[in-house]
Structure 1
Amino acid sequence: MDHSDNSTQTYSTRKTLIERVKDQYNESAWKEFANIYTHYIYAVIRNMNISEHDTEEIHQKVMVKLWKKLPQMDTDQIRRFRSYLAMVAKNEVKQFIRSRSRRQDRETRAVADASMNYLNSIRLPEIEKIAEREWQIHLTNLALKKIEPHFSKKAMEVFRLSIEGVPPDEIARRTGIARNSINTLKARVKSRFFAEIQQLREDLQ
């Protein structure tokens, strides 16, 4: 893949980016960090049965925590950065529920306690499963966003439907594209897509 193509955004490598965000006032680095990781962190929080409204608040707390902690961390010791982000998200969810439970009356507190029990029952392997699943979805979405400018809307629609598991005949019906053109369009996008996935894995993992 040619990374000299200015029409495609190329992300900094994970290690380079984390070194840059250790400068808390490097706005461009933090903007890139948020651009790469926001949707992933948000999805991890939502996977813990948190409402959309509360997820927004918790996500902001996670970002503030990262803003405070990353400059002091030896990030070389973090084996998987995405797993570290998932654990920070989990801890912020627990803190959010503790804080809310202190403000609730006994009846509503029972609901919060049930949520707390659920969160306390999550162990690292389960958090790892959530992190891994959401990371693969996140990489897919990043790759699709990056290759989108290089293909027609029809070609991208065909490819998106195909990776969702929609059969070719149904894709043809939905898009109005001839059945014998489906595989051709899909193949054009597929090679670029997997090249982007591979590059993102090398850059961000």
Structure 2
Amino acid sequence: MFDLFVLFCLCWCCLMGVFSESVSVMEGDTVTLNTDVTEIPEDDDIVWTFRDDQSLIGEITRAAGIFNTSDDVPDERFRDRLKLDRQTGSLTITNITTQHTGEYKLEISGAELTSKTFSVSVYAPLPTPVITRDCSSSSSSSSSSSFSSQQNCSLLCSVVNVGHVTLSWYKGNSLLSSISVSDLSISLSLPLEVEYQEKNSYSCVINNPITNQTTHLNI
């Protein structure tokens, strides 16, 4: 019974023209949300809204000659950033920032209703990780009364003002440890304890779904 219900929902979405798309961009980029039509039919209306409160950010009614973008979102985050293609109805956001992360909904109404949702993720540029180290030597003796000196190092990789990232330690190409956060604008640190051995290469990497930054350390 449940399988039949799921099948019914999928068929209904297809018949009603309900689609979704995920978009990931870097802060400062220009992104275009495409309607996937080559030309808006004369009798069709297009409405663009933003997030759950359905703030109106664009509309086209060709029959009435209406081609508008709206900056009336309360915090004015879209001021001077929106462009509507008069032929296709596609929406372009220029100089995008993390404030524009969220869900954009397109509705095309006419002979049939088409709805498309864009889930837009905007990522800030990543800082270069900073590695600090504190090394100390310790002596140990064996049963033969010989002494050896061993150097231990405490490494700390740090980044500031980051969000939605993963911070990782690598030895060569091998992952040693990592931590992921979804918060915005926080400071993040990842410690690592190592023993000194000649010609060992360690790397601290910060990454998001789009890009990464790496700092290397040879000890």
The TM-score bracket by the shorter chain reads: under 0.3
Which protein shows a greater Rg?
2
Of Structure 1 and Structure 2, the greater helix share is in 1
TM-score (norm 2): 0.21
**Greater relative CO (CA pairs within 8 A, separation 6+):** 1
Of Structure 1 and Structure 2, the greater strand share is in 2
